[in-house]
Amino acid sequence: MTREPQPPVDAPSAPNCPQLTAVLLDFKREHQAAQALADLRDDHDSIAYLAKVEDLATEALKVIIAAHGWPGHTLTGEAGANAAWWIVHHSNDRAFQRRALALLDEAVQVGEATQEQLTFLTDRVRVLAGRPQLYGTQFNIGTNGLRAYVVEDPEHLDVRRAKMGLSPFDAFDKLVRGFYPPPDPPDSGSPTQRYTTRRSMHTIEYEAKALGIDPNAMAERIKAAGGSFQGERLMRRYVYDTVPAVPGRWVRLRDSGGAVTLCVKTISSDEIDGTRETETTVGSFEDTHVLLGLMGLAHRSYQENRRSSWLLDGVRLEIDEWPLIPPYLEIEGDTEDEVWSTAELLSIPRDDLTSENTTKVFARYGIDLDSINELRFA
């Protein structure tokens, strides 16, 4: 879950309908508060409350638009018009976003809304539809850090931005990055440690596994495709149930050999984008384990695996070896297309891939991972 910098609002003008302005601003403030709470707690209740606020704000704006058209500067003042844009930008109703985009475009033509608002919403609608953005306003936090979503015709990006009154992309990119702390530098012994920051981050993992591989043969295949070897290490982790326990969600404390991370993992499905993580770096593996115990989290298992890490065109490739089961390859990218294209590059058919989590992989071999208190190499 990320916060986008919003387009600037000039000095407020007096609205013709201050009551509507107050309603829109109230919804915007409530959404910002709900978003901050969801970012902080990252639990089912706070995320559900955020979605409810977004849906209520959307329905209220639909009623306003039906009665008055787009709530522009004349009707609600610049602050109210900006709040209306904010509500649409964060709406979960994609069809409504597309209709509102057309209305916003008309409002810009007659001076009732800003070009900045139009560029942000245009890119938002395109990205959510799986299309390249036009103005470079939308960013994603992935395991490689913060980066803009794919841009259509990037050579002419700054020309399009200039026509809409926007600064050059490089300057905007620097501004956006100022909203986020820089990533921790990679440890020299583990240059592909997972991107983390000193605060927790909500990310969607796009990953797929090829099971039952020959580690040496797969390493040669990756090397032949142009991949670079990043190191090999022993991974160790404690796994804890959340309090209260939630199916498909758990807490993981992991020592990757170069960094110690604490995260909450949520599995919503076995699809390629069905895993959501919120992760932060911590200090000592042992001390954090003790601290979690004092907080009431009793670990349900301790696990070890060996990992050989590779990097191929920015996509992370992990050859994992676990006790009791055959090795597998995990392909992890920042987009679904990255995962599929990398698999194709390695001559791995899609039908040979699975996005099942490790527990389900063990179950394929008749092993209940949740029943094993300690999983160690002999």
Is residue 8 situated within a structural domain?
no
CATH number of the domain within which 213 lies: 2.40.320.10
Regarding whether 286 and 369 lie in a shared domain, the answer is yes
Question: 206 has which bridge partners?
Answer: 333
Regarding whether 130 and 277 lie in a shared domain, the answer is no
Regarding whether 96 and 52 lie in a shared domain, the answer is yes
Tokens of 343: 């698999």
Nearest in space to 140 (alpha carbons), one of 205, 96, 51: 205
| 330 Cβ contact list (under 8 Å, min separation 6) | 207, 208, 209, 317, 318, 320
* Residue 278 to residue 331: CA distance in whole angstroms: 19
Regarding whether 205 and 173 lie in a shared domain, the answer is no
* Residue 328 to residue 40: CA distance in whole angstroms: 35
Tokens of 231: 């190191």
Per-residue model confidence (pLDDT) at position 347: 95
Residues 6 and 82: beta-carbon distance below 8 Å: yes
DSSP notation for 308-348: EEEEETTEEEEEEE-TTS--EEEEEESSHHHHHHHHHHTT-
Is residue 270 situated within a structural domain?
yes
Regarding whether 320 and 226 lie in a shared domain, the answer is yes
Regarding whether 223 and 169 lie in a shared domain, the answer is no
The distance of Cα 31 from the centroid of its chain, to the nearest Å, equals 19
Is residue 63 situated within a structural domain?
yes
HSE, side-chain direction, 13 A CA sphere, residue 182 = 4
For the chain of 378 residues, list the mean pLDDT of each consecutive stretch of 10: 43 68 90 81 84 92 92 92 93 94 96 93 92 92 77 95 90 70 44 31 72 96 95 92 78 87 80 72 82 76 94 93 97 90 95 91 94 90
Element (H, E) at 275: strand 275-282
* Residue 93 to residue 179: CA distance in whole angstroms: 27
Regarding whether 209 and 165 lie in a shared domain, the answer is no
Per-residue model confidence (pLDDT) at position 14: 62
Residues 271-298 as b/e (b if ≥16 CB within 10 A, e otherwise) read ebebbbbbbebbeebeebbeebeeeebe
Is residue 11 situated within a structural domain?
no
* Residue 102 to residue 92: CA distance in whole angstroms: 17
Number of separate domains in the chain: 2
Per-residue model confidence (pLDDT) at position 265: 80
**CA distances in angstroms from 221 to 153, 216, 227, 312, listed in the order given:** 33, 9, 9, 11
Under DSSP, is residue 303 helix (H, G, I), strand (E, B) or coil? strand
* Residue 41 to residue 47: CA distance in whole angstroms: 9
Regarding whether 328 and 219 lie in a shared domain, the answer is yes
Regarding whether 162 and 226 lie in a shared domain, the answer is no
Per-residue model confidence (pLDDT) at position 294: 67
Q: Which residue range(s) make up the domain with 137?
A: 18-177
Regarding whether 241 and 168 lie in a shared domain, the answer is no
Regarding whether 358 and 224 lie in a shared domain, the answer is yes
The distance of Cα 221 from the centroid of its chain, to the nearest Å, equals 30
Cβ neighbour number for residue 122 with a 10 Å cutoff: 19
Is residue 83 situated within a structural domain?
yes
Give the CA angle between residues 331, 333, 334 to the nearest 5°. Answer: 165
Beta strand 374-375 with 201-211 is unpaired
Nearest in space to 39 (alpha carbons), one of 93, 80, 14, 3: 3
Is residue 146 situated within a structural domain?
yes
Tokens of 73: 């500067």
Is residue 262 situated within a structural domain?
yes
Residue finishing a domain among 111, 145, 177: 177
Is residue 186 situated within a structural domain?
no
